[in-house]
Amino acid sequence: MSGFSTLNTARTALSAQQRGIDVTGQNIANVNTDGYSRQRADLEALGGSTVPAFYSRSTGVGEGVDANTVTRIRDAFLEGRAHKEYSTSARLTEENGALELVEQAFSEPGSTGVQSLLSKMWSGWGDVANQPQDLAARSQVLQRLETLVGGLHASQASLDAQWSESRENLQVVVADVNAAATSIAGLNQAIKRANQSKMPANELTDKRDSLVMKLAESVGATVRQSDFGVVDVIVGGITLVAGSTASKLKVAGSIDPADTATVPPTDPPRIVTATGGYGVQAGGKVAGQLNTLNVIIPTYRNKLDAIAVNLATTLNGAHAAGYDLGGNPGQPLLDSSLGPITASTINVAITDPRLVAASSVATGAALDNDNADKISQLRLSHTGVDANYRQMIVDLGVQGSVTARNLDIQQVVTTQVDNSREAVAGVNIDEEMTNMLSYQHAYSAAARLVTAVDEMLNQLITRTGLVGL
């Protein structure tokens, strides 16, 4: 090998170590950048000539080092695992939040909850039983019944408002998903062109993978690797992004919470493709919101409606067995002017305290309290309104507790996966400082090699008398 070949070897060494320092600097600069994956300059030894000659052959030991390849450090398995765990965590977060809002709608335990209003209403019947001749006692039981009906209206209205808000949020999430899918398709095209042209695309890939993770969290997206660094995004078996082409999703179904009261719902909210209207089994946040719209809120709306019907049936039946101050049979206490009785349509049917049927006999009704006493004892029934309402609240509490516990467990799993991903793809300052010192010393050694070859060639030229020629 000639001295000039050694100079070329030193040149490649200088260039390679400079590339390594550049990559290290890029890693250090992005140590706090969200979604950034650390990079590594891959050094590869350049061998000598492998082409044989007839009259000569190369005795060189190599031609230096090549550092043209910069690898982005990622673990595909951990990324796929993160997509799944983020999707599950987002779904549980939505369901847990929905159950917390349902609990707030019932305000239990509390002085404004339906349970407290029921207790006051039954106590009012006890007051009527104690003073059947007192119109004030009869008026207050009607007022307490009005307050109870207002509590049912308020709880149902709160559930309906939560349903409507959840559906609006679903529209926003789907719009964000469509925007992210379009961005991913554009990045796929840019990454493919860069890889085909042997240009760096690591930062573009980081940006695209961050958007894919967002889709995994929103709709449970998964990816399928393709050529030239391109990925296809799959949602519920439907290809949302295929190379540089993005499809769109939309929300279909009813916008009225009352439409989900039937089981199964006639027109439930759902996710479909914008073209063709094919159903999509989405995961992540969208799955949690759909479960809220189609299962969680409708379940408790129906249970509250059943409480209202049970209350009306119980009170109307008991009231019809008695007689008012005029000696007439008791009229219905509760009804609905808007069709069947529900928690949102139930109303107090009478306003005149003289029509309260507190007596069990028509003659001398002003002094008899037997029917009022029987009504006040209805609170003790093991199958009555109070028992059913308490069971509903217990079921809600258990469901909320289980969901919250599952969310806590899932968050631990998601954190572990994130830590594993960070251990592979994250930037470690200590490691980068070590790499920087290694590249720095190697660069200094390569520079010293240039000096040595220069002195050697200078000696050769001077001693052989080539200077004067």
What are the boundaries of each domain within the chain? 3-73+429-463, 80-417
Of 311, 426, 323, 301, the C-alpha closest to 378 is: 311
**Helix, strand, or coil (residue 102):** helix
- Taking the C-alpha atoms of residue 375 and residue 66, their distance in angstroms, rounded to an integer, is 93
Position 67 confidence tier, pLDDT thresholds 50, 70, 90? confident
Measured distance CA(39)–CA(69) in Å, rounded: 10
Which of 328, 91, 335, 104 has its CA nearest to residue 218? 91
The pTM score is 0.87
Give dist(CA 288, CA 285) in Å, integer: 5
- Per-residue pLDDT tens digits for 84-137: 999 999 999 999 999 999 999 998 888 888 999 999 999 999 999 999 888 999
Give me the amino acid identity at 75.
Answer: D
Distance of alpha carbon 358 from alpha carbon 322, whole angstroms: 6
Q: From edge to edge, which strands make up the β-sheet containing 222-225?
A: 222-225, 231-235, 238-242, 245-246
**Phi and psi for 297 in degrees, rounded to 5?**
-65, -45
Question: How many CB atoms within 10 Å of residue 334?
Answer: 22
Q: What is the mean pLDDT of residues 304-325?
A: 93
Token pair listed for 352: 């005149």
Mean pLDDT of 3-24: 88
Mean pLDDT for the stretch of residues 388-414: 95
250 burial level (CB within 10 Å; 0-12, 13-18, 19+):
middle
Residue 225, judged by CB atoms within 10 A of its CB (0-12, 13-18, 19+), counts as: exposed
* Torsion angle in degrees (nearest 10) through CA of 413, 415, 418, 420: -70
Q: Work out the end-to-end distance of the chain between its first and last CA atoms, rounded to an integer number of angstroms.
A: 24
Average model confidence (pLDDT) across the chain: 90
Q: Does residue 74 carry a pLDDT above 50?
A: yes
Question: Dihedral through CA 94, CA 100, CA 106, CA 108, nearest 10?
Answer: 160
- What are 337-367's pLDDT values in tens digits? 888 999 999 999 999 999 998 888 887 767 7
Say if residues 44 and 64 touch (Cβ distance below 8 Å).
no
For residue 46, the cross-strand partners are 64
**Nearest to residue 212, comparing CAs of 272, 220, 226, 88?**
220
Residues 258-269: b if buried by 16+ CB within 10 A, e if exposed: eebeeeebeebb
Listing DSSP states for 262-303 in one string gives: SSS-SS--EEEETTT--B----HHHHHHHHIIIIIHHHHHHH
**Residue 1 pLDDT class (50, 70, 90 cuts):** very low
What residue type is 65 in one-letter code? Answer: V
Residues 12 and 49: their CA atoms lie apart, in Å, by 16
Q: How far apart are CA 429 and CA 439, in angstroms?
A: 15
